[in-house]
């Protein structure tokens, strides 16, 4: 049995939803409301030491951090593989994953925007401007990385973990009015990913 603790507003949770769909793994969802601070209180705070989503429960064990969760799923459920076979190709996938996971998502995480408000009296508009600045700056680098791979998808002609991270990151960027037209390589890959059921069907439920 797999249980995914996730939030409708979390791009990191979305990555795991896509990976589970690509692997055709059935699971149960527990929705955590980040805006209401549900992740910071019991019982979730006891479940995930990080007090962040996602967390994946499998065989009575809790896993946190989407990179660790998705790598675990890729190891225990090999088809379809989310990492290419060559060392160089794997390094390229990890570069995209790392750029999104460490270089982009943390900059617009709700906890960071709340801290900007609490410590520097930043308004919602200030927080959104901050998020947009970092996303656009790092998307410029991401676009070059993806263009350099010159494949149908983010890192070649097969769907990889890079695409699993890219799709929710672009979706999350919409709330900060990031214009995707400025990033042609990302736009092209997004058009292709939107045709794939595991991506198209991964959007969070309304409400
Ligand atoms: N690197 C972590 C990031 C987790 C993360 O930042 N989750 C966000 C939602 S996308 C969250 O729980 N934010 C609430 C908080 O940090 O307090 C992962 O990939 O799982």
Q: What is the CATH number of the domain that holds 20?
A: 3.40.30.10
Tell me which residue range forms the domain holding 67.
2-76
- Judge whether 170 lies within some domain: yes
Model pLDDT for residues 64-117, shown as the tens digit of each residue: 999 999 999 999 998 999 999 999 999 999 999 999 999 999 999 999 999 999
Is residue 6 within 6 Å of ligand 1 at its C-beta? no
pTM above 0.85, yes or no: yes
Please say which residue of 76, 95, 121 terminates a domain.
76
**How many residues are given for the chain?**
207
Please say which residue of 13, 47, 76 terminates a domain.
76
44 plus 112 within the same structural domain = no
107 plus 10 within the same structural domain = no
What are the respective helix, strand and coil percentages of the chain, to the nearest 5?
Answer: 60, 10, 30
Residues 6+ apart with CB under 8 A from 91: none
Instruction: Enter the tokens of residue 165.
Output: 């991270």
Is residue 58 within 6 Å of ligand 1 at its C-beta? no
100 plus 157 within the same structural domain = yes
14 plus 94 within the same structural domain = no
| Residue 5 three-state SS | strand
Model pLDDT for residues 15-36, shown as the tens digit of each residue: 999 999 999 999 999 999 999 9
| Percent of the chain surpassing pLDDT 90 | 98
Is residue 9 within 6 Å of ligand 1 at its C-beta? no
42 plus 112 within the same structural domain = no
- Our count of domains for the chain comes to 2
């Amino acid at each position: 049995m797999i249980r995914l603790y996730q939030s409708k507003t979390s791009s990191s949770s979305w990555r795991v939803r896509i990976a589970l769909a690509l692997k055709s793994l059935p699971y149960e969802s527990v929705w955590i409301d980040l805006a209401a601070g549900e992740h910071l209180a019991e019982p979730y705070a006891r479940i995930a030491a990080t007090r962040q989503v996602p967390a994946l429960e499998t065989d009575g064990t809790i896993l946190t951090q989407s990179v660790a969760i998705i790598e675990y799923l890729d190891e225990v459920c090999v088809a379809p593989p989310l990492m290419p076979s060559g060392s160089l190709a794997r390094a390229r996938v990890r570069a995209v994953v790392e750029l999104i996971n460490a270089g982009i998502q943390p900059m617009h995480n709700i906890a960071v925007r709340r801290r900007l408000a609490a410590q520097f009296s930043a308004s919602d508009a200030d927080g959104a401007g901050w998020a947009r600045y970092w996303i656009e700056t790092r998307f410029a680098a991401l676009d070059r990385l993806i263009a350099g791979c010159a494949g149908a998808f983010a890192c070649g002609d097969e769907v990889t973990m890079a695409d699993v991270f890219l799709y929710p990151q672009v979706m999350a960027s919409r709330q900060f009015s990031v214009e995707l037209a400025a990033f042609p390589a990302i736009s092209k890959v997004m058009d292709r990913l939107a045709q794939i059921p595991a991506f198209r069907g991964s959007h969070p439920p309304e409400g």
